[in-house]
Structure 1
Amino acid sequence: MIRRIRTPLLALLGAATLSACFSLGGKPPPFLLTLDPDAAPATGTARTAADAATLTILIPTAPQKLRTTRIPVQQDDASIAYVQDAQWVEAPQRLFQRLVSETVAARTSRVVLDEGQYLTAPGEQLAGQLMEFGVDARSNEALVVYQAMLVSAGGKTVTQRRFETREPIGGKVEAKPVGEALTRAANRVALDVAAWLGE
């Protein structure tokens, strides 16, 4: 009888110990953040371009600290934390690519394609790296750094340009003010990219 009771008791103790070590699911954030473009193409506007005259905007690469839906906070040169309860609705690289595409389409006369849309030649391609997309705790600012690379149709020439913008958070490093500051900074970078591409 004692042996029969001991076995389920040991199993229960083991399960309790495991549940204390592993979490089966974190607490979801109260809301998800996204990037809203300040400029967007007018509804119903039609544009036509030959294959070589189109512009395909690629999803930028990013360092490991940005390959997450969380928002990094650079504490100093060697340490990174993340904003509590702040989470993007999808990867920031994809959000930024979509924001740049919308802004370039609105502010230039180019026919802008997503990398999954072109059927033949992609024309010019805008690639690059999203180097910073988070908070600099030392200055309490949102920081966006984008290293753009424009590849001509056929890949004969490559032009690089670095874009950097800072926006004050204006309060505590919390989800809502940080998301708003990053949206402002990302829009400023997107406008600068559009101005460069429209030259």
Structure 2
Amino acid sequence: MMKLLRLALPLAVAAALGGCSLGSLLGGGGKVPPTLLRLTPEATPVSIQRSASAGQAVTVAVPVISKELRTTRIAAQVSPYDVQYLTDIQMIDTPDRLFQDLVAETLRRRTGRVVLDPKTTTLDPGIVVNGELRRFGFDEASSSVVVEYDVALARAGGTAVETRRFTATAPATAVGASVGPALNRAANQVALDVATWIGG
């Protein structure tokens, strides 16, 4: 059964959930789980020694995230108004930074482009990938994890901007052993879709 740490759950909502509700499965906790979650690229590794003409490199910025995602805990959406946290799983870093690394590495492996870190400010940033990681966690209503990423792609020095939303889900139960691999699959699917969109 799921153990969740409450973020904001009115008692009336907890009572209404009933049955196998999350309201009866809240846990205090505070202990760090024995293992920590990271995102592992699923794209096939390739040689990353390459070069790029001016404007053809890709720079992946750290995505914007909401307050409930600014933590190493895994968020669980219980209702449109209620976010809680799984207590038996934790990430090694916040999802924005883990996801940035995953998107950058997937681009390196699936395209022929040079991929730069935003801190490499002295180089030509080329195409700049900005975005908002809107969802990254477990969804109780669908019994799945959801990764949703709004991307803003600035080409030609910012004179042309494109936007697109990418969403992926994977079935899971609300326990760390299920949520961890499912999040990795969904995040990789979004990263692959972004790489396909940008192209080689």
The TM tier, using the shorter chain, reads 0.7 to 0.9
Unaligned runs of 5+ in 1: 1-24
1:156 corresponds to 2:145 = no
Encode CA deviations 1:89-139: one digit per residue, 9 max, x unaligned: 001111111111111111111111111134233111000000000011001
Q: Distance in 2 between matches of 1:153 and 1:180?
A: 37
1:188 corresponds to 2:192 = no
Structure 1 residue aligned with 2:99: 96
TM-score w.r.t. length of structure 2: 0.82
CA RMSD of aligned residues (A): 1.6
Task: Compare the two structures and name the one with the higher strand fraction.
Answer: 2
Task: Compare the two structures and name the one with the higher helix fraction.
Answer: 1
Q: Distance in 1 between matches of 2:30 and 2:89?
A: 13
Equivalent pairs, count = 172
Alignment check: 8 A CA contact 2:32 2:90 kept: no
Q: Distance in 2 between matches of 1:154 and 1:100?
A: 21
Q: Distance in 2 between matches of 1:191 and 1:118?
A: 25
1:73 corresponds to 2:73 = no
Q: Kindly, what percent of the aligned residue pairs are identical?
A: 44
Shift of 1:197: 0.6
Alignment check: 8 A CA contact 1:51 1:120 kept: no
Q: Distance in 1 between matches of 2:74 and 2:147?
A: 12
4+ long deviations beyond 4 Å:
none
Which amino acid in the other structure matches residue 150 of structure 1?
Answer: L
Encode CA deviations 1:27-71: one digit per residue, 9 max, x unaligned: 22111100000015425x410113421110111001111111111
Q: Distance in 2 between matches of 1:139 and 1:187?
A: 20
TM-score w.r.t. length of structure 1: 0.82
Q: Distance in 2 between matches of 1:28 and 1:198?
A: 40
> Is the partner of 1:188 in helix, strand or coil?
helix
Q: Distance in 2 between matches of 1:154 and 1:39?
A: 29
Q: Distance in 2 between matches of 1:28 and 1:185?
A: 24
Unaligned runs of 5+ in 2: 1-28
